[in-house]
Amino acid sequence: AFMYNALIRGFSNSETPQNSISTFSLMLNNLGLQIDSFTLAFSLKSASNIPCFRTGTQLHCQALVRGLDTHIFVGTTLISMYAECGRVEFARNMFDEIPNPNIVTWNALLTAFFRRGDAEGAERVFSLMPAKSLTSYNLMLGGYAKLGEFDLATKVFDEMPMKDEISWSTMILGLAQHGCSDKAIRYFRRLHEASLRPNEVSLTGVLSACAQAGALEFAKILHGFIEKVGLIWNTPVNNALMDTYSKCGSVDMARLVFQRMPGKKSIVSWTTLIAGLAMQGYGEEGLSLFHEMEKSGLRPD
């Protein structure tokens, strides 16, 4: 069972979480292996990642008959699963079933309220929490930022007892996604001045801000930084860099980044460059790149 649990867990974070569910039913129906709390937690995570409410409910039943539904890990994953499947009421009822919720369980409930954009519900949960972790603050920050409530987000950011790289990248990304590119760049500078190392997510955020603002010079500085710290191996960062160069009108640099990408090119890498070429009037080159992509074995989405 240990081995199968590892398999299910591996699939749950893959592109094809359905494989976890197949493995689960293989274990249960064909091999007659014992299902434990790990099996259920990992399988439920797959149900969230698909997401599939039906599968999630069936797994809930399997947990129920074994008395594992209120197991702290399984119960917490059930809350997340219902939230991901858009059933916040189910998530909430599940929370009430768990006898000794811990911080992670409370955080899962917070996430559930923000999933449907219910900031007031989340605030109630936050105020009821017997203890809060950094993740709890990051959740409030991210929830407000996603809703564009930057006064509230800034208040959380300024008042939280500590900050980690997630706090910073959440803020930068939230600002960038709401078109506040100047502020996003300002937070990125603050992060850098605080001698904290910007991570890959802050970089995609600030790059997207540069793309909006047409800040080509700053993008070049960021490019240098990315090479220096070795983030050139990170595909999403490279993709964001290409997109920024394209949108700033420097499709030559975008092409160069693409050609020199050391890491694996994803479907997004190709699409970003093709769109950039098309946008700048290099339609033919874009088309031939499209055919090259098909030859390389990737299928367009």
Residue 45 Cβ, how far from RNA at the closest point, in Å?
A: 6
Select 41 or 195, whichever has its Cβ closest to RNA: 41
Select 182 or 254, whichever has its Cβ closest to RNA: 254
Specify the DSSP class assigned to residue 197: P
Residues engaged in binding RNA (CB under 7 A): 1-2, 5-6, 9, 36, 38, 41, 45, 72-73, 76-77, 80, 102-105, 107-108, 110-111, 133-135, 138-139, 142, 165-166, 169-170, 173, 177, 199-201, 203-205, 208, 234-237, 239-240, 243, 266-269, 271-272, 275, 301
The alpha carbon torsion through 83, 85, 91, 93 (nearest 10 deg) reads: 160
Residue 74 Cβ, how far from RNA at the closest point, in Å?
A: 8
Question: d(Cα 123, Cα 128) in Å, to the nearest integer?
Answer: 9
Residue 142 Cβ, how far from RNA at the closest point, in Å?
A: 4
Select 237 or 289, whichever has its Cβ closest to RNA: 237
CA-nearest of 114, 158, 160 to 137 is 160
Residue 135 Cβ, how far from RNA at the closest point, in Å?
A: 4
Select 64 or 267, whichever has its Cβ closest to RNA: 267
Residue 264 Cβ, how far from RNA at the closest point, in Å?
A: 11
Question: d(Cα 135, Cα 25) in Å, to the nearest integer?
Answer: 34
CB atoms within 10 A of CB 220: 16
C-beta contacts of 50-59 below 8 A and 24+ residues apart: 50/17, 50/18, 51/81, 51/84, 51/85, 52/21, 52/85, 53/82, 53/85, 53/86, 53/87, 55/21, 56/81, 56/82, 56/85, 59/24
Select 189 or 197, whichever has its Cβ closest to RNA: 197
Select 1 or 61, whichever has its Cβ closest to RNA: 1
Residue 76 Cβ, how far from RNA at the closest point, in Å?
A: 4
Question: d(Cα 100, Cα 226) in Å, to the nearest integer?
Answer: 45
